[in-house]
Each structure stands twice: as structure tokens, then as C-alpha cells.
Amino acid sequence: MGVFRRAWLTAAGEVAWRIPGRPQRLLAAFALAERGSMLDMLSAVEHTERRELRKKYFRHALDEARHATLFAARVRALGGVNRAAAALEDSGKLVEGGFVGEQTLFERLGEEEFLSFVYVAEADAVEQFEV
């Protein structure tokens, strides 16, 4: 990671995490993103024709589910968001992600682009999490 990116992430993080109520909203968004990623991976399990990747997609889905559970538990521990609001937001994510009425990310991108997307997104997440 470059020095400017690290400085930006550090400065933005210092501000974002200190705003009252913001940590709960950020963690809730992370939980939803992880759940969406889990669903993307399960879709990949279902749609891939590559047997060797099916197991890897499934393991990744389990890992994403664990992350979603951890973030959601932390939100609750911090006195997080209203359950009804979270459910509405979650249902919107299912529609946006293509799991209700549309194509999933895997179907839209195809396997090669899906794998590239996941690789880049995971690398970015690791950078951000380390900062």
C-alpha cells in the first residue's frame, strides 16, 4: 500500500470512527456486505462448472457468513441499529445483489470477471482492515 493511501485511510478512519453512532452504522454496513458476499459465493457454488472451484467458493461463503455474524454481534453489543430498519435494508441488498428477481453477480460477470472482482475486493478490504 502506498504512503498516501495509508495516510488517507488513517485520517478518514480517525474521523469516521469517532462520530457518535457512526461505528454502529459502519459495522452494520460491513455485516451486510459480508452477507452479500456470502450469497455471491453460494451463487458461484451453484453456477460454476469447475468442480475444483466449487469447494473453494463454499469455504469462502462460510468465511463470509462468519464475518457477517461477528460484525452483527458487535453492532448489537454497541447498542446498534433497529432490527426492523436492518431487515428492510437487508431485503434491499438482496434485490440489489440480484438474489431476488435479477441475475446474481456471478451470472452478470461470468466466472473470470467474478474471480477478478473478488480478488481485488478482498485485497482492498485487507488493506483497509490493516489500517
Residues 6+ apart with CB under 8 A from 111: 44, 48, 50, 53
Between 98 and 11, the higher pLDDT residue: 11
Enter the DSSP assignment of 58.
H
Place of cell 470512527: 17
pLDDT digits (tens, 9 = 90+) for 13-68: 888 888 888 888 888 888 888 888 898 999 999 999 999 999 999 999 999 999 99
pTM of the model: 0.78
pLDDT digits (tens, 9 = 90+) for 62-101: 999 999 989 888 888 888 666 655 655 665 666 665 555 5
Rounded Cα–Cα distance for residues 21 and 29 (Å): 13
